[in-house]
Amino acid sequence: MRRGAIVRITLIGVAVAILATLVAVLIPWLPDPASKQMGRIEFLYWFATVISIGIFAVVIAVLLYSVFAFRAAPDDDSDGPSIHGNTNLEIAWTVVPAILVIAIGVVSAVVLSQNGQAGTNPMTIKVIGQQFTWRFEYPDSKGLKSNELVMPVDRNITFQLEAVDVIHSFWIPQMGQKQDLVPGLPTHIVVTPTRMGTFTLICTELCGLGHATMRAPVRVVSQQGFDAWIKQQQSGGGSASGAGAGKAVFTSSGCGACHTYAPAGSAGAVGPNLGNLAADAKKAHEDLAAYVKESIVDPNKVIVAGYQPNVMPGNFAQTLSAKQVDALVSFLAAGSK
Amino acid sequence: MSAVEHTSHGLGHGAGAPPHRRGIFTRPGFVRAAWCFALFFLIGLYLVAGIRWFAGWDPVYDWNIIVLVGGLVMGPVGFLLGLGAFDYWLYYLSGRPTLAEDHSNHGAYTWKDYFKVNTDHKVIGMQYLVTTFVFFILGGLMAMLFRAELAQPGMQFMDTQTYNGLVSVHAALMIFVFMVPVFAGLANFAVPLMLGAPDMAFPRLNALSYWFLPIAGTMFLCSFLAPGGAFATGWTSYAPLASQQPFGQIFFNMGVQWAGASSILTALNFLVTIITMRAPGMTFWRMPLLVWANFTTSMLAVVATPFIAGSQFFVMFDRVLHTSFFIPKGGGYVLGYQHIFWFYSHPAVYIMILPGFGIISEIISVMSRKPIFGYRLMAISLLGILVLGFSVWAHHLFVAGMADWLRVPMMISTLLIAVPTGVKIFSWLATLWEGRIHLNTPMLFALGFISTFVIGGLSGVYLASVPIDIHASDTYFVVAHIHYVLFGGSVMTVFAGVYYWFPKMTGRMYNERLGKLHFWITFVSFNVTFFPMHWVGLVGMPRRVADYSQRFADLNLVISIASFVLGASILIFLYNVVTSWARGPIAEANPWRAMTLEWQVSSPPPVFNFDEIPQVVGGPYEYGVPGARHAILSGGTTPVEAGA
């Protein structure tokens, strides 16, 4: 190989590498980490990125150089040199990539092991996924139930995951960790939030019509804030009275994910528009309040034309208290006259 | 091999067709196929209704089961029977006179012969290619429809059922009736010619395996007519969601059976052809790399495909027979589906790329006028991918809840696949080195393939690393990765191969300027469409969602616009192919001055390929070796000798 060729290839390679590095650095490829685990994933991501940029630069440099340097004239009928191979070169490009990928493998295995450790005294939160809502239970706080995920900052949290109907998947993008919820097979994952703020839990496994809307609010607060929240929830202070209570149940139960309802400001399109409840009740020849209650606790009984049965969860009678159901019914009946 | 001795092409009337003329209703063809379909559907209908009536089940006419048995099983069998796909075997079974060397349905003399059960591997290759491209275009149109929906957050054109249905049918068409069989089409045309064989080992089986394909594709499309809409669980169709979906899901379960059967039969046919029908002197180490690639692909397809067939049957049985393979309440094991499904579907990724590797090896060597660098290691690396390919399936289950200890070994084997793949890429680069590079359309697609496939390979390394995969799994990063591998990888090689063999297939030359224009528009719009998906995925957009957060709106609009350009670029290809096929300049026998055997016969090749069996005397890529030859053919055209 001529020396000029080496110099030129190196120059192209460096240019490609600089360009790729700029793309890697200037675009915020990962969300700002909000958990210890995501911090490790980010480190691993950069480790793989440095190696990838190197390989990409070598391939593209040789490709571009060859196309420009060895391009034949249209009337050139000659053949190239009959090089059939080079054993040393072939060994080199078998061994070097093998070493690089094994390095990535070893670092990944270490990170994986660290990310799986819950440490001493982890807090446990139970997560139940169901088409198309999330529910949370706090066994350490007398089994407190919530439709909002609230976590104290800097605490190892073991999530115990259960699915009621089909497979769902638990992911808070800024916290990295993801785990499927599998019917009949309890799973778990460890997350240590490091940043206070509000986030969104999203389902990442296609679970049916409302999949895109299967989300839950996540709040990471200080330990004091968390304790206060637990106390407030346990004393029932979380539920306001009157119309406010119904709206709170509507929001926390995830009704808006599938239903449009102007008083709650929701625009879901999976299920019927709840602004039409009065008209639908008339069609079913039922009293409005009775119809609304029936539709919540036994959703398959009357299906509005154009919609399918078995889409809405059928267990709100179990997950909501009678008081909550009544509040929800009055909230819905009031807004659809 | 006595077929070669037939000089009276296509005159052997014997088996399927008795000498007297038959009426339009009784002779093999679409008319007979139509009434046989109806007849078999009715048989299925009354079989179901009869059993239900006898057992006293209500309703007697359960239309779901009737459509399944009559429409998706019996009807297609009747269609094939009417078309004449079983005629020879049935004549044989019933003791009527048959002629083993019957060539009455061999070769294409008019355009009508392409619409028959034809036993000529070249005709079957064309049937495959045209059919798969029809499904490719339909699948692409569906992608453009849901990209239109995704151009803005919120729901604009369609409900979520339609959206999920379009996404699922798009992927099912692209994977099962385009990507896998399009390579079978190219190989059907090229492999027997490259081996110096007159045809495939089992021509009638070959014809049958092709005709399974339109049945499978039609089934996927017909699912839109099912009550409740098309199957909407993605192409992975995970249980238990898939067992609870509306009836359209059955069309996926059964479509996969027909496409899978086609794939298995073709693979068996290739294996027997490659093992037993090589011309004298064509040792394994003298086979072109395309043949090597299809040899390994066929082994993968034969071993792996029955697993997806099983997984889809189980899901269907859970629904129609009330078994509980994957229903936890009945003792089923939900993850079992994913293990069985991916035991096929990961090797399937190699079924969808290894033949492309073969195509690229042919083109890069010929267009660089140099021997392929490290020929033996190129063949061995294919075998390496074959073996490793069976030990990586559980990397699709890193977040699924499977046994924790399985993750690290599966990660290591997945990462190691980068090694044989890297060998191929470096060897192609070394083949370019100091060559005489001719940058025509096939070569542009080959080089474009290398650059996009490297990106797809590197994003694969990220996904192999378990902790990164835990973050990126089920996001748009995965969508970007699979499209860099299957479009930037496989589809690029398909275009390269179609342009490369176009003169051989049609006897006419395509338009080079339009070809290059097609390449550049495809290459640019492909990257603009799919590269930003890496970013939206990593920062938090999950895949398979009809609606998304406002902050991804701008990039999704860019992606959608680029995807429309990408979709429209196929029009240039179609225009080029159709007009060139009709009235392009007549192609020479060997426009690329290639050494492999398919170029040593006329364009298009004679019906029985070679007037005399060629004698293979050297390697297939001896460019630049003075006086070297791949094969000696007496008579006909003079084989290419290495140039100065």
Residue pLDDT, tens place only, B149-161: 999 998 888 888 8
Q: pLDDT for A185-242, tens place per residue?
A: 999 999 999 999 999 999 999 999 889 889 999 999 999 999 999 999 888 654 555 5
Residue A103 shares a structural domain with residue A44:
yes
- Indicate if A99 and A130 belong to the same structural domain: no
B22 pLDDT exceeds 90? Answer: no
Within a 10 A sphere around the Cβ of B613, how many other Cβ atoms?
A: 18
Average pLDDT over residues B396-400: 95
Work out how many domains chain A is built from and give that number: 3
Same domain for A247 and A322, yes or no, is yes
CA B341 to the chain's CA centroid: 18
Nearest to A310 by CA among A294, A298, A293, A292: A298
pLDDT at B643 over 60: no
**Which strands sit side by side in the sheet containing A144-146, from one edge to the other?**
A144-146, A133-138, A123-130, A157-163, A187-191
| Residue A79 placed within a domain | no
At B3, the pLDDT band (50, 70, 90 cuts) reads very low
Considering only residues A269 and B403, tell me which one the structure prediction assigns the higher pLDDT. Answer: B403
- In B, which residues are within 8 Å of A211 by CB distance? 160, 164, 544-545
Distance (Å, whole) CA B450 – CA B421 = 11
Q: Is the pLDDT of residue B640 over 80?
A: no
| Nearest CB to B468; choose among A45, A97, A167 | A45
Domain assignment present for residue A81? The answer is no
Same domain, A101 and A169: no
Residues 6+ apart with CB under 8 A from A228: none
How do the domains of chain B map onto residue ranges?
113-583
- Is B367 strand, coil or helix? helix
Average pLDDT over residues A133-152: 92
Q: Which position has the higher pLDDT, B163 or A323? A: B163
SS3 B433: coil
For A:278-337, CB contacts with B below 8 A are 308, 310
Range of the domain at A288: 243-335
* Long-range contacts formed by B305-308: CB under 8 A, 24+ apart: B305/B260, B305/B263, B305/B264, B305/B267, B305/B344, B306/B260, B306/B264, B306/B344, B307/B340, B307/B341, B307/B343, B307/B344, B308/B256, B308/B260, B308/B340, B308/B341, B308/B344, B308/B345, B308/B348
Mean pLDDT on B387-398: 94
pLDDT band at B8 (very low <50, low <70, confident <90, very high): very low
E strand or H helix that includes residue A288: helix A288-297
Nearest CB among A30, A41, A212 relative to B160 is that of: A212
Q: Are B466 and A83 within 8 A, CB to CB?
A: no
How would residue A304 be classed by pLDDT, with cut points 50, 70 and 90?
A: confident
E strand intervals along A166-264: 168-171, 178-181, 187-191, 197-203, 215-221, 260-261
Residue A285 inside a domain? The answer is yes
| Residue B163, phi then psi, degrees to nearest 5 | -60, -50
A131 and A230 co-located in one domain: yes
Evaluate if residue B452 carries a pLDDT over 70. Answer: yes
Average pLDDT over residues B546-563: 93
Mean pLDDT in residue range B603-616: 92
| Amino acid B531: pLDDT | 96
- pTM comes to 0.91
Could you write out the DSSP letters of every residue in A142-193?
TTEEESSEEEETT--EEEEEEESSS-EEEE-GGG--EEEEBBTB-EEEEE-B
A337: pLDDT confidence band, cut at 50, 70 and 90? low
Q: How far apart are CA A11 and CA B121, in angstroms?
A: 49
Greatest CA span in chain A, whole angstroms? 91
The domain boundary, picked from A234, A257, A288, lies at A234
Binding-face residues of A in 145-174 toward B, CB within 8 A = 165-167, 169, 171, 173-174
Cβ–Cβ below 8 Å for B466 and A112 = yes
**Per-residue confidence at A1, pLDDT binned at 50, 70, 90?**
low
Crossing angle of the two packed helices B289-320 and B248-276, in degrees rounded to 10 = 150
Task: Work out the percent of chain A whose per-residue pLDDT is above 70.
Answer: 96
A96 and A147 in a single domain? The answer is no
Is A194 part of any domain?
yes
Please count the CA atoms within 13 angstroms of the CA of B593 that sit on its side-chain side. 17
ipTM metric = 0.90
Sign of CA dihedral B471, B475, B476, B480: positive
For residue A180, list its beta bridge partners: A169
Q: What is the pLDDT of residue B638?
A: 52
Domain end (from A171, A204, A234): A234
User: How far apart are alpha carbons B574 and B566 in whole angstroms?
Assistant: 13
Contact B545 A211 (CB under 8 A): yes
The answer to whether B72 and B254 are in contact (CB under 8 A) is yes
On whether both A250 and A207 belong to a single domain, the answer is no
In chain A, residues with a C-beta closer than 8 Å to the C-beta of B447 are 63, 67
Q: Is residue B641 very low, low, confident or very high in pLDDT (cuts 50, 70, 90)?
A: low
Interface test with B, best of A76, A204, A214 (most B CBs within 10 A): A204
Res A281: pLDDT: 85
Residue A191 pairs in a beta bridge with A157
DSSP string, B221-290: HHGGGSTT-B--STTTT-TTHHHHS-THHHHHHHHHHHHHHHHHHHHHHHHHHHHH-PPTT--GGGS-HH
pLDDT of residue B17: 47
Q: What is the Cα–Cα distance from B509 to B581, expressed in whole angstroms?
A: 8
Predicted local confidence at residue A241, as pLDDT: 55
**Residues B411-429, mean pLDDT to the nearest whole number:** 96
pLDDT for B316-375, tens place per residue?
Answer: 999 999 999 999 988 999 999 999 999 999 999 999 999 999 999 999 999 999 999 999
Residue A190 resides in a domain: yes
Task: Please tell me the least confidently modeled range out of B512-526, B577-591, B627-641.
Answer: B627-641
Partner residue facing A80 (CB), from B160, B334, B436:
B436
User: What does the pLDDT look like over A231-245, one tens digit per residue?
Assistant: 998 886 545 555 677
Is residue A271 situated within a structural domain? yes
E strand or H helix that includes residue A130: strand A123-130
Residues A15 and A111 in one domain: yes
Within this chain, do residues A52 and A148 fall inside the same structural domain, yes or no? no
Write down the pLDDT at residue A237.
Answer: 54
Q: What confidence tens digit (pLDDT) does each residue in A59-98 have?
A: 999 999 999 999 999 888 899 999 999 999 999 999 999 9
pLDDT at B635: 54
Residue in A41, A162, A180 to test binding to B, most B beta-carbons within 10 Å = A180
Nearest residue to B625 (alpha-carbon basis) of B360, B372, B364: B372
What CATH number has the domain bearing residue A305? 1.10.760.10
Beta bridge partners of A201: A216
Confidence at residue A163, expressed as pLDDT on a 0 to 100 scale: 95
Task: Answer with the residue of higher pLDDT: B308 or B24.
Answer: B308
B-facing residues of A in 208-267 (CB < 8 A) are 208-213, 267
Choose between B352 and A250: higher pLDDT. B352
pLDDT at position A336 over 80: no
Whether residue A82 lies inside any domain: the answer is: no
**Mean pLDDT across chain B, nearest whole number?**
92
Which residues, including other chains, have CB under 8 Å from residue A250's CB and lie 6 or more apart? A256, A261, A264, A266, A328, A331, A332
Q: What band does B13 get if pLDDT is binned at 50, 70 and 90?
A: very low
Query: Residue B15 has what pLDDT?
Result: 44
Give me the pLDDT at residue B644, please.
37
The mean pLDDT of chain A is 89
Domain B113-583: CATH architecture, name and number where available = Up-down Bundle (1.20)
| Side chain identity, residue B275 | I
What CATH number has the domain bearing residue A142? Answer: 2.60.40.420
Give residue A305's pLDDT: 82
**In-domain check, residue A77:** no
Q: Taking the CA atoms of chain B, what radius of gyration do you get in angstroms? A: 25
For residue B74, the SS3 value is helix
Q: Which residue among A55, A70, A84 places its CB closest to the CB of B437?
A: A70
Q: State percent of chain A over pLDDT 90.
A: 59
pLDDT at A13 exceeding the cut of 90: yes
The answer to whether the beta carbons of residues B466 and B408 sit under 8 Å apart is: yes
pLDDT at B183: 97
Does residue A267 register a pLDDT over 80? no
In tens, the pLDDT along A159-190 reads 999 999 999 999 999 999 999 999 999 999 99
Buried b (16+ CB within 10 A) or exposed e, B256-270: bbbbbbbbbbbbbbb
B465/A44 Cβ within 8 A = yes
Residue that terminates a domain, selected from A115, A133, A151: A115
3-state class (DSSP) for residue A134: strand
Q: Which residue of B has its CA nearest to A42?
A: B468
Closest to A248 measured CA to CA, from A234, A264, A268, A235: A264
pLDDT, position B456: 96
B232 in Cβ contact with B165 (< 8 Å): yes
Q: What is the mean pLDDT of residues B175-204?
A: 96
Minimum-distance CB partner of A81 among B154, B370, B473: B370
Q: Give per-residue pLDDT as tens, B217-247.
A: 999 999 999 988 899 999 999 989 998 888 8
Residues A18 and A100 in one domain: yes
